[in-house]
């Protein structure tokens, strides 16, 4: 049996002659016309449009729904409803893809395949099956042509969003290119099942010594880039609390162990499940089994260290330390950072969280707040931190449901301190004067080095004194934003007018009776209008 493990890569994305991309663009325009996009865009209408546009836009919508720091809250809530289940592909098609990958009849590998799908998502479909040796498995098969469709959409989206870079500053409101790139990177990983197989192998290795943690066995000999065969996990979903209790499980123990393992994934491994919703966590034979390892977050050792520093800064209410961690984690977006405004934003945030005990802090929301502050100060955070924020919000919700007394933040702080939970006194940790002395001591140690650097630079004539007049940037920033909006409106008007002129010509290729270039102009104008709307909404929310 000759198994193919070759999949398309980024270099294989079609660059798009208009006759190929034009068909897709025609479909996109027809969907926008169907939903009367010119009459306004409500949250519900946006969700319905995205669902009709297909998997590429559904993925983008799912990313948008998790970015309340950028998009209006009512839109985020509505986009959370985007369906994950789609119309199943025919069973014959499912079998055809397997045989095409294996280059042999399915009967040579499987003794039985259940015709009713366990799940049918935008990228893949899953069926239960039995191997020839009787082993119970599930088969995950990629939908035909999905890579090509998504690649064409990415090309069109990149062409449309490119116009946004003309208007300086719009990327600080909504970085559409970043969203498209993040979606495409995630989708490529999800469409390469060999990548998911490697994730499962690494997850097993990192958790090999933890007896209460597991993940499905991957049958590598039957796995290709488009077909994944893995162990069928017959267990109890972690949110089925009554069934777990009837089976004799201690919910408190499950909650604590789940939290401990997720903290380990973040703090020790830097390799964590990025989508830990209840459907991806099962209890089987005394084990917590993580499934669907296609979307895993990664943190470098440096990022893990800075994350620990951030948690410590919250515990000690150290504004400077948290500001340093944010600046070290992030990437500056070109504009000069106003450190006084950044400091004030962090100080206000710690004022809010400082009124609560550390154990009551929702770490997922806290990370989301850091992302918001970073975005407002033109600091781009790494993808791993964004994924971690979403993952922590989800896992804290799961833990709160099954075991309200299992405190995620207490377990994280205890893990970082290297102490046992039973010996950890949170109040003493927060109120201890020795902690303040230690923090002051750490800062004092760096003073001689800073003085030495200062003197060295002075001797070499390399020292520059930077003076900032506080408050001088705000009026200029207001004028800058006003000019940006005027420029965007001019570009928007030019796009609509030029597209209308083109629509009156016989320029080819055409579809729906208008030139393709004119349709692309209309599509770009819609995206530009959406960006401007979000910008205005965000400005009002700040006020």
What is the pLDDT at residue 494?
Answer: 73
Contacts of residue 186, Cβ cutoff 8 Å, sequence gap at least 6: 59, 63, 295
The count of other CB atoms within 10 Å of the CB of residue 235 is: 19
What is the pLDDT at residue 538?
Answer: 62
pLDDT grade for 358, boundaries at 50, 70 and 90:
low
pLDDT grade for 443, boundaries at 50, 70 and 90:
low
Half-sphere exposure in the Cβ direction for 18 (13 Å, CA): 11
The count of other CB atoms within 10 Å of the CB of residue 207 is: 20
Say whether pLDDT at 2 is over 50.
Answer: no
Half-sphere exposure in the Cβ direction for 30 (13 Å, CA): 10
pLDDT in tens, 228-246: 999 999 999 999 999 999 9
What is the pLDDT at residue 4?
Answer: 34
Task: Identify the weakest region by mean pLDDT among 82-86, 184-188, 374-378, 453-457.
Answer: 453-457
Tell me if the bond preceding 509 is cis, omega within 30° of 0: yes
What is the pLDDT at residue 161?
Answer: 63
Tokens linked to 203? 């997850």
> What's 119's DSSP letter?
E
pLDDT grade for 203, boundaries at 50, 70 and 90:
very high
> What's 218's DSSP letter?
B
Highest mean pLDDT among 23-32, 283-292, 437-446, 511-520: 283-292
* Three-state DSSP class for residue 126: strand
- Cβ proximity of 238 and 254 under 8 Å: yes
Higher pLDDT pick, 527 / 536: 527
What is the pLDDT at residue 510?
Answer: 66
Say whether pLDDT at 220 is over 90.
Answer: yes
Highest mean pLDDT among 258-267, 304-313, 375-384: 258-267
What is the pLDDT at residue 165?
Answer: 47
Say whether pLDDT at 259 is over 90.
Answer: yes
Give dist(CA 113, CA 107) in Å, integer: 9
The count of other CB atoms within 10 Å of the CB of residue 221 is: 9
pLDDT grade for 65, boundaries at 50, 70 and 90:
confident
Higher pLDDT pick, 506 / 357: 506
Tokens linked to 14? 């079609």
Higher pLDDT pick, 443 / 413: 413
What is the pLDDT at residue 315?
Answer: 74
Query: How long a stretch of residues is the chain?
Result: 543
**In the beta sheet, which residues pair with residue 272?**
297
What is the pLDDT at residue 96?
Answer: 96
**In the beta sheet, which residues pair with residue 126?**
119, 140
Give dist(CA 310, CA 323) in Å, integer: 9
pLDDT grade for 70, boundaries at 50, 70 and 90:
low
DSSP assignment string, 25-70: HHHHHHHHHHTTGGG---HHHHHHHHHHH-HHHHHHHHHHHT-TTT
What is the pLDDT at residue 37?
Answer: 76
Per-chain mean pLDDT for the chain: 77
What is the pLDDT at residue 254?
Answer: 95
Average pLDDT over residues 455-462: 49
Count, in order, helices (H) and strands (E) of the chain.
21, 15
Q: Report CA torsion sign: 492, 66, 48, 72.
A: negative
Give dist(CA 18, CA 516) in Å, integer: 8
What is the pLDDT at residue 178?
Answer: 66
> What's 113's DSSP letter?
E
DSSP assignment string, 403-436: -TT--HHHHHHHHHHT--GGG--HHHHHH-HHHH
pLDDT in tens, 472-520: 455 556 666 666 677 777 776 776 777 676 666 677 776 666 676 667 7
pLDDT grade for 419, boundaries at 50, 70 and 90:
very low
Catalytic residues: 275
pLDDT grade for 78, boundaries at 50, 70 and 90:
confident
> What's 295's DSSP letter?
S
Give the ranges where 317-405 is alpha helix by DSSP (H).
Answer: 319-329, 339-354, 363-376, 383-402
Give dist(CA 288, CA 214) in Å, integer: 6
What is the pLDDT at residue 408?
Answer: 83
- Look at residues 434, 398, 428, 414 and name the one whose alpha carbon lies nearest to residue 311: 414
- Cβ proximity of 422 and 300 under 8 Å: no
- Give the whole-number percent of the chain exceeding pLDDT 90: 27
What is the pLDDT at residue 213?
Answer: 96
Beta strands in 480-542 (DSSP E): 510-511, 514-515
């Amino acid at each position: 049996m000759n198994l193919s493990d070759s999949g398309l890569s980024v270099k294989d994305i079609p660059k798009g002659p208009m006759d190929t991309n034009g068909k897709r663009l025609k479909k996109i325009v027809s969907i926008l016309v169907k939903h009367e996009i010119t009459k306004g865009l409500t949250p519900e209408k946006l969700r319905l449009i995205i669902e009709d546009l297909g998997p590429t836009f559904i993925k983008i919508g799912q990313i948008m729904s998790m970015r309340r720091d950028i998009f209006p809250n009512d839109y985020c809530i509505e986009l959370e409803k985007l369906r994950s289940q789609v119309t199943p592909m025919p069973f014959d098609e499912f079998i055809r893809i397997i045989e095409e990958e294996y280059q042999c009849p399915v009967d040579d590998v499987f003794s039985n395949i259940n015709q009713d799908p366990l799940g049918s998502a935008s990228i893949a479909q899953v069926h239960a099956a039995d191997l020839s040796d009787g082993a119970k498995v599930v088969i995950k098969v990629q939908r035909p042509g999905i890579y090509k469709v998504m690649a064409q959409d990415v090309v069109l989206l990149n062409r449309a969003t490119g116009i946004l870079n003309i208007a300086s500053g719009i990327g600080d409101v909504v970085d559409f290119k970043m969203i498209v790139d993040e979606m495409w990177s995630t989708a490529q990983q999800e469409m390469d099942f060999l990548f998911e197989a490697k994730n499962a192998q690494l997850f097993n290795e990192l958790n090999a010594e933890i007896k209460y943690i597991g993940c499905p066995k991957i049958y590598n000999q039957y796995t290709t880039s488009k077909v994944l065969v893995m162990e069928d996990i017959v267990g109890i979903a972690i949110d089925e609390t009554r069934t777990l209790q009837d089976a004799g499980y201690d919910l408190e123990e499950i909650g604590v162990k789940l939290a401990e393992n997720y903290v380990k994934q973040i703090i020790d491994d830097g390799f964590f499940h990025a989508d830990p919703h209840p459907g991806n966590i099962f209890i089987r034979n005394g084990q917590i089994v993580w499934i669907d390892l296609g979307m895993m977050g990664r943190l470098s050792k440096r990022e893990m260290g800075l994350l620990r520093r951030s948690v410590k800064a919250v515990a000690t209410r150290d504004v400077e330390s948290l500001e340093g961690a944010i600046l070290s984690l992030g990437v500056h977006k070109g504009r000069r950072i106003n450190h006084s405004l950044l400091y004030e934003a962090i100080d206000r945030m710690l004022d809010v969280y400082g009124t609560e005990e550390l154990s009551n802090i929702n770490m997922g929301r806290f990370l989301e707040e850091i992302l918001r502050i970073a975005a407002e100060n033109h600091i781009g955070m790494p993808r791993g931190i964004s994924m971690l924020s979403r993952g922590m919000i989800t896992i804290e919700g799961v833990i709160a449901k099954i075991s309200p007394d299992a405190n995620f933040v207490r377990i994280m702080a205890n893990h970082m301190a290297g102490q046992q939970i039973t010996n950890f006194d949170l109040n003493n940790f927060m109120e201890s004067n020795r902690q303040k002395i230690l923090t002051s001591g750490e800062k004092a140690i760096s003073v001689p080095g800073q003085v030495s650097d200062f003197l060295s630079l002075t001797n070499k004539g390399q020292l520059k004194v930077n003076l900032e007049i506080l408050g001088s940037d705000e009026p200029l920033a207001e004028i800058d934003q006003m000019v940006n909006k005027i420029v965007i409106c001019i570009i928007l008007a030019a796009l609509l007018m030029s597209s209308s002129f083109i629509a009156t010509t016989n320029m080819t290729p055409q579809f729906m009776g208008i030139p393709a270039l004119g349709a692309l102009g209309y599509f770009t104008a819609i995206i530009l209008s959406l960006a401007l709307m979000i910008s205005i909404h965000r400005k009002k929310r700040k006020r």
